[in-house]
Amino acid sequence: MIERLAMTVPLLPTHERWFVESQPGGDWSFFFSPLPLVLTAAVVAVTVVWRLVALRAEGPELPFLAPLGRLAPWVPRLLGVHLGVALLALAATGAFITPSNDHLAGVGGSSLLLVEGALGVWLVTGFRLRAAAALVLGLGPALVLVDGLTALGECANLAAVAAFLVVLAPGADAHGAVHPTRDQLRVALLLLRLGVGAALVVLAFSEKLTNPAMAIDTLERYPALDVFGLLGLDLAPETFVAIAGATELLFGLLVISGAFPQVAVLVAMVPFNATLLLFGQTEMVGHLPVYGVFLALLVYGSNARTAADVRWLPTPGGSAGSSDVDPAPATSLEDAALVQ
């Protein structure tokens, strides 16, 4: 029953290393074969068109979600909780930063897990989170030492949340509410999008587009992932891997673009939540920071005053489009509301 439910949704993005034996990627011959190249070109084209269309739009694309925008002042606090619970749960299960990195041993390994758990508790408390987030970023070199550079790229989503909190930490009053300047919010959201998008792009290549062997192994162990089987389509495993990799790559590029965040998040949430039916707790804990990011993009994208800031990219002219230009100088988004 669960497998059938999982097969009713689009391609399920999953972290193969969390559930099968890790295998090194680097098989670029697969990526440079015709199908992956064509799909990659199509994904890039779709992303460019998606952003160009979004730059012509004013305000949230789904106005009926406007009530969600009222949560904007508390997004940093919510992100801190998501990141803190994830780190605490990972430490409790003996995993460092990612569920697949559960082979630590000795005093050094125990020390890293202790620090990870302590930072998780700190983030949940909401007390002076800028310092806690900075220390989370400091765990990056340790992750490289124990699991390599690829692992660092695959876990860039955690670094993205931490970087956001360094720029935009929760306030000390009103349950952590914060009213940032527009520049602060733009930079924080840019770091958030770049980190999460980069993690998805790295995963698309490290676990699929340059690692077809591990992706096929995952498909063989979890046949419910083959959504094409439900439609009666018998695709070669390599074809499925190419499509799955392109799908994950598309999600990553759309997040980086920041365009139409409401639609992008609602579509992405379907496959990301569907994997819970197959993989349960491990998948939920590993994806907690991503769920937090999706919530942040959805909330800011649903707020008429911040929707344009979600898609902001730095340009030589200082704006990402006419809709991104400040209507008047303002010290905070609350002040900006008074001049709009």
Percent of the chain whose pLDDT exceeds 90: 54
| Tokens, residue 185 | 């919010």
Q: Helices (DSSP H) in the chain: which residue ranges? A: 2-6, 28-31, 34-55, 75-92, 106-125, 129-137, 140-147, 149-154, 156-167, 182-204, 212-221, 227-230, 237-257, 261-302, 307-310, 333-339
Contact status, residue 121 vs residue 91, Cβ threshold 8 Å: no
Is the pLDDT at 20 greater than 70? The verdict is no
Residue in 26, 45, 16 with CA at minimum distance from that of residue 244: 16
Percent of the chain whose pLDDT exceeds 70: 84
Confidence bin at 15 (pLDDT 50/70/90): low
Distance between CA 215 and CA 16 in Å, rounded? 7
Confidence bin at 108 (pLDDT 50/70/90): confident
Is the pLDDT at 59 greater than 90? The verdict is no
Reported as a single tens digit per residue, the pLDDT across 30-41 is: 999 999 999 999
Burial of 200 (0-12, 13-18, 19+ CB in 10 A): buried
Q: What is the mean pLDDT of the chain?
A: 84
Reported as a single tens digit per residue, the pLDDT across 224-253 is: 777 777 677 778 889 988 998 999 999 999
Phi, psi of 45 (to 5 degrees): -65, -45
Is the pLDDT at 154 greater than 90? The verdict is no
Residue in 47, 33, 9, 42 with CA at minimum distance from that of residue 209: 33
pLDDT of residue 10: 44
Q: What is the mean pLDDT of residues 85-93?
A: 92
Distance between CA 169 and CA 49 in Å, rounded? 34
Q: What is the mean pLDDT of residues 297-316?
A: 92
Confidence bin at 297 (pLDDT 50/70/90): very high
